[in-house]
Amino acid sequence: MLKRFTVSMEEDLLDDFDSFTKERHYQNRSEALRDLIRSRIIEKEWKADKEVMGVISLVYDHHQHGLQEKVTELQHHFHHQIVSTTHVHMDHDNCLEVIIVHGKAGSVRKLADSLIALRGVRNGNLAMSSTGKDLH
């Protein structure tokens, strides 16, 4: 059920919020605020080591000696945390690997950190998401 409530804030802060809402293409303040609240709830799920979902992305040069093997080895070691992996050969040298992960936040983060820290990984990122079960 949708409930309404009134929020008071300084004019400058409201201006900032309206700019945010516009820049992110939200239809209205309510949808922008709901998403902001949900992202804080997701942060809490990760901090509390709850069951989460996430996406790890890696950009690396496959010529880097032994790197491809290490990326594969780590994924086998953490196979319970992995839902799927997509590998894109972007050009002659560069690969993009996108790994959808789930499980306890701590183990998912450990996998992401281990992959991102590998020598030769030029860019790595963990997008923290949620199973959606506790999101409304």
Binding site for Ni ion (CB under 5 A): 62, 89, 95
Smallest distance, Å, CB 62 to Ni ion? 5
Smallest distance, Å, CB 6 to Ni ion? 54
CA 103 – CA 97 distance, rounded (Å)? 19
58 or 112: CB nearest Ni ion: 58
94 or 107: CB nearest Ni ion: 94
Cα four-point dihedral sign 118, 100, 33, 49: negative
Angle, helices 105-116/29-47, rounded to nearest 10 degrees? 90
Q: Of 109, 136, 127, 112, which is closest to residue 41 (Cα–Cα)?
A: 136
Smallest distance, Å, CB 10 to Ni ion? 51
62 or 102: CB nearest Ni ion: 62
